[in-house]
């Protein structure tokens, strides 16, 4: 009960306060009655109570480690590729207003670019010169419209594998027998 009162006071204060603090590693997107109004920089900033809401976005550089992808190369080898994306938010407006699950969008765009560049190459081409620059160019082109600034895409794992897929139709497998 006491926690709910504290939450109500904290949330109520955000709504009625005419001030907001935006930290040095952030920018704020001000929504007035739910529509984009302006972007604010770090510092103590004014807002209209009840009418404006501020979504604070971290704009400092960060990384996203992508899950491994199993792909087939042009010469019919199965490979596993995993990568790290180094990025920051350059334009908070589309980042807040145009997409919902921002990290998933970046992961999906990058994994799609990895797939499109990897399947057209042979295993030997991938092994000697991974297509990181081609992936970087494609991800930059697609993610830029959502406010991302992609600084690097680095393949951290690339190897040939044997892939086994189990089709179960939701029937539990008992591998102990």
Domains of the chain: 2-58 (no CATH), 62-160 (3.30.479.30)
pLDDT digits (tens, 9 = 90+) for 21-50: 999 999 999 999 999 999 999 999 999 999
Please report the sign of the dihedral spanned by the C-alpha atoms of residue 105, residue 93, residue 141, residue 148: negative
| Phi then psi dihedrals of residue 79, to 5 deg | -130, 155
pLDDT digits (tens, 9 = 90+) for 114-160: 999 999 999 999 999 999 999 999 999 999 999 999 999 999 999 99
- Split at pLDDT 50, 70, 90, the class of 98 is very high
- Split at pLDDT 50, 70, 90, the class of 13 is confident
Reference 114, options 163, 81, 72, 146; nearest CA is 81
d(CA 16, CA 49): 5
């Amino acid at each position: 009960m006491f926690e709910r009162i504290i939450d109500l006071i904290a949330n109520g204060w955000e709504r009625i306060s005419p001030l907001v603090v935006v930290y040095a590693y952030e920018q704020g997107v001000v929504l007035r009655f739910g529509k984009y109004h302006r972007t604010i920089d770090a510092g103590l900033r004014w807002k209209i109570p009840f009418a404006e809401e501020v979504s604070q976005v971290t704009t400092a550089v960060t990384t996203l480690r992508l899950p491994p992808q199993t792909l087939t190369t042009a010469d019919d080898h199965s490979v596993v590729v995993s990568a790290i994306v180094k990025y920051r938010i350059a334009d908070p407006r589309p980042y807040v207003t145009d997409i919902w699950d921002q990290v998933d969008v970046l992961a999906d765009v990058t994994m799609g670019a990895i797939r499109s560049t990897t399947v057209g190459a042979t295993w030997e081409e991938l092994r000697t010169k991974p297509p990181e620059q081609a992936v970087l160019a494609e991800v930059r082109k697609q993610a830029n419209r959502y406010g991302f600034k992609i600084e690097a895409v680095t393949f951290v794992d690339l190897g040939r594998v044997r892939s086994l897929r189990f089709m179960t139709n939701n029937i539990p497998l008992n591998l102990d027998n």
